[in-house]
Amino acid sequence: MTEIQGKPAKIYRITQDVIFVFHSEPILMVTMQLILKNEPKHSLVRHGLYEKKKTLRK
């Protein structure tokens, strides 16, 4: 996945942390506020931007 993120990062001269891959197509987010608002939680967990809460089940 970093290879897919790396190519647009070089083209647009941005860091890889604002590029999210959705069905093999990179999506560029402008700010972290937009990322945290618009991206689903499982995608944020994958990138290390959100910590999933562990709940105990009975």
DSSP class of residue 17 equals G
Total-model pTM: 0.54
* Mean pLDDT within 9-35: 73
The overall average pLDDT reported for the chain is: 77
| Tokens linked to 12 | 């647009």
Residue 36's Cβ-side half-sphere holds a number of Cα atoms within 13 Å equal to 7
Q: Is the pLDDT of residue 5 over 80?
A: no
The domain ranges of the chain are 2-47
AA letter at 29: M
